[in-house]
Chain A
Amino acid sequence: MEFKLEAHRIVSISLGKIYNSRVQRGGIKLHKNLLVSLVLRSARQVYLSDPCPGLYPWAGGFFFFPTGGPWRPPPQQQPGELAAGPPAGWGEPPRPPPTEPQSELSAVSEAPRVGDAVPAATVTGVGDVPQGGEADAAEAAWSRVEGPCQAAAGEAEGPAGGWAVFPLGSRAARRPCGCPLGGKDPPGTPAATPRSACCCAPRPAEDEPPAPPAVCPRKRGAAGVGGGPASCPAPSSTPLKKPRRNLEQPSSGGEDDDAEEMETGNVANLISIFGSSFSGLLRKSPGGGREEEEGGESGPEAAEPGQICCDKPVLRDMNPWSTAIVAF
């Protein structure tokens, strides 16, 4: 059990580092990120192999998993919870957990980061095209790095279960967890502390949600901070997306439907990613990777308001991660 917690913590910290590396001066350091991804893999292996059931007392509603194996969505709960979760989770602004100010702070802090550190990357990403072999390879390398983010995000929620404690409900109430990335930390605090291990964790009242809804915002968090247009922009989670969103229509209610559909699709794909080997975690290209992962989401993705005004295929395939990749 301790190993699982430790592994989880290490996963979160690692994702935080990968995220932060994107905005570090001097560009992405291949060596460091390779090492971090190796740690991520080790932690993931330990996580998966630990036979303890996913029982986390600090999760508001206990969320049991029969095994520590591949994540399976609790069959009945999902729709039920989506439909009629505990009142606390619905229609109510999420209670301010310790992490929320953190996410606000990091949302704020990300904005200046966007402004200075990788501004061109974000901006050019919109219409950017891989610059050739090097860029593709670099892109692939960085999609490799990105992969674990998302997969681990899913993983973190999946088998972990307990920390897939997410506020459900209105879009306004929904917050991206973003916790595995630790991207919510202000820059300069690479060591994501336990609070970033799961910002959902300390929200006892908002139990359940199940991983599926959790997956979505978190995935978006991951995608939002590190990934892009393919994810559903949650309002405060993805300041990085703001520049793009300014170009596009502001995301609207369509997001909810997208979210739910995306969640289910996400889960299945995350399982398949998760069950695969390390290299399988890493996709050749962000575009291809994301499409595979979100295989079931092409509908909602296409319907995303964010996609409408911009070159759809480009945006689908590009995201801040890959723009950074291409930039690199």
Chain B
Amino acid sequence: MTSSSRATGIGRHFEKGKKSLPGAGGGGCPAGGNDFQWCFSQVKGAIDEDVAEADIISTVEFNYSGDLLATGDKGGRVVIFQREQENKSRPHSRGEYNVYSTFQSHEPEFDYLKSLEIEEKINKIRWLPQQNAAHFLLSTNDKTIKLWKISERDKRAEGYNLKDEDGRLRDPFRITALRVPILKPMDLMVEASPRRIFANAHTYHINSISVNSDHETYLSADDLRINLWHLEITDRSFNIVDIKPANMEELTEVITAAEFHPHQCNVFVYSSSKGTIRLCDMRSSALCDRHSKFFEEPEDPSSRSFFSEIISSISDVKFSHSGRYMMSRDYLSVKVWDLNMESRPLETHQVHEYLRSKLCSLYENDCIFDKFECCWNGSDSAIMTGSYNNFFRMFDRDTRRDVTLEASRESSKPRASLKPRKVCTGGKRKKDEISVDSLDFNKKILHTAWHPADSVIAVAATNNLYIFQDKIN
């Protein structure tokens, strides 16, 4: 395995353990040291230039097994794709993702009390671990979280005594014999039904939900508060973090993301608009306003500008699968933190540093407020995040290499390899490079997801969902 020869030091033992997963993403190539060769697999969504706002994808999430891929959009719809069964005799053959279920999760609402429209945009989807034949996921908009059950129906009962095949009741006097109804196969029908609706618990806009490792509770976070819910109980929740100041004049930061630890059910983190991350332990007190750990990197005073505060605001925070690390995304960089070291991040990866000189324009066109997400691969050896011009970036933590790829229709031929892209910042633009000023800031990749075990990634580019797979030699 690649990591065995790398002197990455910290965490190697974790990664070794993880590498035992079949087809594990990070450095899983048998020919050690090979980089990924990402290839186009599929693209979902309409092709036309005119993109309806409702079709813009706002969240992407694989389930725990990676067989299901859920997307939410601004129109409040959820589309679930299911991976086709791979051919068992060819373990590296690619399974395609096809539409499994589509349903309207949230509708636009109007809060009459406050005279506010509540957008139906799905902010986050989180899957629950599968416990029976049905699949469950949580989806949330700004104010309401819903638990959806997605179940299959592929049989139906036939041969009822009291009713006809078309459902009409039979006249009891006509029944001369009794029979036992039998189950007959039918066309597969996938049904989505809302099982729980968790409403009215958030004054501000919900930005995160996270299922706990106990599989019984989950948290939801808005700008100023985090609530703890039990999946079975909808009429109440516990408030576990409240950073609303008594005097709103003194408000200096808001909560931007929150997540439960993947293994320790009492631990969660939340990030703030000031670039800090707080780790809280629910055992310490009922209200976790006092953090157990505080992660902040001191600001470099030489790079101060009008927009320093904005670009330090963390847009996403994700624990590694191992639970030893976490990753935070701010506007220009992604940082990997060791939970045992609060003073500074373990790694800092620049996503698009060439934008630092363009912050004023990005402020004007609102791009500086874009909230990019980030994700780990299954073995925690690589991380991925999006950028502009439909570019997305991957950082291999072992080899310390990074690559910029593009999700575009042009490179969408079946199994076509993605060519690494380069942004030219200096004067002379080489062939195939793209200059910073030619970047299309309307084409932004905010949401990406990595299959929990395999080398499959899903990248949301506005209204299209691209699926790429690694061509393993």
A: residues with CB less than 8 A from B are 6-7, 10, 13, 17, 25-27, 29-32, 34-35, 38-39, 42-43, 46, 117-118, 120-121, 124, 131, 134-135, 137-138, 140-141, 144, 190-193, 279, 282-284, 323, 326-328
Distance A27 CA – B114 CA, assembled complex (angstroms): 10
Contact yes or no, B247 A140, CB < 8 A: yes
Q: Give me 15 other A-B pairs in contact (C-beta within 8 A), A31-B313, A118-B115, A140-B247 excluded.
A: A10-B363, A13-B364, A25-B117, A26-B119, A27-B205, A31-B223, A34-B252, A35-B369, A39-B307, A39-B309, A121-B115, A121-B116, A134-B203, A192-B364, A323-B115
Contact yes or no, B248 A34, CB < 8 A: no
Contact yes or no, B244 A137, CB < 8 A: yes
- The winner among A6, A7, A38, A323 for most chain B CB atoms within 10 A is A38
Contact yes or no, A282 B306, CB < 8 A: no
Contact yes or no, A328 B310, CB < 8 A: no
B436 within 8 A of A: no
Q: Could you write out 27 A-B pairs with CB less than 8 Å apart?
A: A10-B363, A13-B363, A26-B119, A27-B117, A30-B205, A30-B223, A30-B224, A30-B254, A31-B254, A34-B251, A34-B253, A34-B273, A35-B273, A39-B307, A39-B363, A42-B308, A42-B309, A43-B306, A46-B306, A120-B112, A121-B116, A134-B203, A140-B247, A190-B365, A193-B364, A284-B249, A327-B116
Given contacts A35-B310, A42-B306, A131-B113, contact A27 B244 (CB under 8 A): no
B142 within 8 A of A: yes
Distance A10 CA – B359 CA, assembled complex (angstroms): 11
Q: Which residue on chain B has the smallest CB distance to residue A9? A: B360
Given contacts A38-B309, A42-B306, A327-B114, contact A191 B244 (CB under 8 A): no
Distance A186 CA – B363 CA, assembled complex (angstroms): 18
Distance A31 CA – B254 CA, assembled complex (angstroms): 6
Distance A135 CA – B203 CA, assembled complex (angstroms): 9
B212 within 8 A of A: no
B118 within 8 A of A: yes
Please, which residues of chain B bring their CB within 8 A of the CB of A120? Answer: 112, 115
B171 within 8 A of A: no
* B208-258 interface with A by 8 A CB criterion: 223-224, 244, 247-254, 256
**Set A32, A121, A135, A279: member contacting B369, Cβ < 8 A:** A32
Please, which residues of chain A bring their CB within 8 A of the CB of B204? Answer: 30
Q: Which residue on chain B has the smallest CB distance to residue A139? A: B248
Please, which residues of chain A bring their CB within 8 A of the CB of B310? Answer: 35, 38-39
B410 within 8 A of A: no
Distance A32 CA – B256 CA, assembled complex (angstroms): 11
* B249-296 interface with A by 8 A CB criterion: 249-254, 256, 273
Contact count band on B = 35 or more
Please, which residues of chain B bring their CB within 8 A of the CB of A17? Answer: 366
Please, which residues of chain B bring their CB within 8 A of the CB of A141? Answer: 248, 251
Given contacts A31-B223, A191-B366, contact A26 B247 (CB under 8 A): no
Distance A193 CA – B119 CA, assembled complex (angstroms): 28
Given contacts A31-B273, A327-B114, contact A140 B249 (CB under 8 A): yes
Please, which residues of chain A bring their CB within 8 A of the CB of B247? Answer: 140, 284
Q: Which residue on chain A has the smallest CB distance to residue B223? A: A30
Distance A135 CA – B365 CA, assembled complex (angstroms): 30
Please, which residues of chain A bring their CB within 8 A of the CB of B112? Answer: 120
Distance A29 CA – B205 CA, assembled complex (angstroms): 7
Please, which residues of chain A bring their CB within 8 A of the CB of B254? Answer: 30-31, 34
Q: Which residue on chain B has the smallest CB distance to residue A40? A: B306
Distance A29 CA – B121 CA, assembled complex (angstroms): 14
Task: Kindly provide the distance from the CB of B258 to the nearest chain A CB, expressed in whole angstroms.
Answer: 14
Contact yes or no, A137 B360, CB < 8 A: no
Task: Kindly provide the distance from the CB of B403 to the nearest chain A CB, expressed in whole angstroms.
Answer: 31
Distance A328 CA – B111 CA, assembled complex (angstroms): 9
Given contacts A39-B310, A118-B115, A121-B115, contact A191 B249 (CB under 8 A): no
Given contacts A13-B363, A32-B369, A35-B369, contact A27 B116 (CB under 8 A): yes
Contact yes or no, B244 A124, CB < 8 A: no
- The winner among B112, B203, B207, B365 for most chain A CB atoms within 10 A is B203
Please, which residues of chain B bring their CB within 8 A of the CB of A134? Answer: 203
Q: Mark B36-47, 1 if CB is under 8 A from A, else 0.
A: 000000000000
Please, which residues of chain A bring their CB within 8 A of the CB of B115? Answer: 118, 120-121, 124, 323, 327
Q: Mark B361-393, 1 if CB is under 8 A from A, else 0.
A: 001111001000000000000000000000000
**Set B114, B118, B207, B363: member contacting A26, Cβ < 8 A:** B118
Distance A262 CA – B364 CA, assembled complex (angstroms): 32
Distance A141 CA – B115 CA, assembled complex (angstroms): 17
Please, which residues of chain B bring their CB within 8 A of the CB of A118? Answer: 115
Task: Kindly provide the distance from the CB of B107 to the nearest chain A CB, expressed in whole angstroms.
Answer: 13
Distance A270 CA – B50 CA, assembled complex (angstroms): 47
Q: Which residue on chain B has the smallest CB distance to residue A125? A: B115
Task: Kindly provide the distance from the CB of B247 to the nearest chain A CB, expressed in whole angstroms.
Answer: 7
Contact yes or no, B273 A138, CB < 8 A: no
Task: Kindly provide the distance from the CB of A16 to the nearest chain B CB, expressed in whole angstroms.
Answer: 9
Q: Which residue on chain B has the smallest CB distance to residue A31? A: B254
Q: Which residue on chain A has the smallest CB distance to residue B120? A: A26
Please, which residues of chain B bring their CB within 8 A of the CB of A282? Answer: 249
Contact yes or no, A35 B248, CB < 8 A: no
Task: Kindly provide the distance from the CB of A70 to the nearest chain B CB, expressed in whole angstroms.
Answer: 22
- The winner among A31, A46, A117, A144 for most chain B CB atoms within 10 A is A31
Contact yes or no, A279 B249, CB < 8 A: yes
Q: Which residue on chain A has the smallest CB distance to residue B253? A: A34
Distance A174 CA – B107 CA, assembled complex (angstroms): 45
Q: Which residue on chain B has the smallest CB distance to residue A137? A: B248
Please, which residues of chain B bring their CB within 8 A of the CB of A7? Answer: 306
Contact yes or no, B142 A144, CB < 8 A: no
* B104-132 interface with A by 8 A CB criterion: 112-119, 121
Given contacts A42-B306, A140-B247, contact A26 B142 (CB under 8 A): yes
Given contacts A39-B310, A39-B363, contact A138 B251 (CB under 8 A): no
10 closest cross-chain pairs (CB), A and B: A120-B115, A191-B364, A26-B119, A140-B248, A327-B115, A141-B248, A27-B116, A327-B114, A30-B223, A38-B309
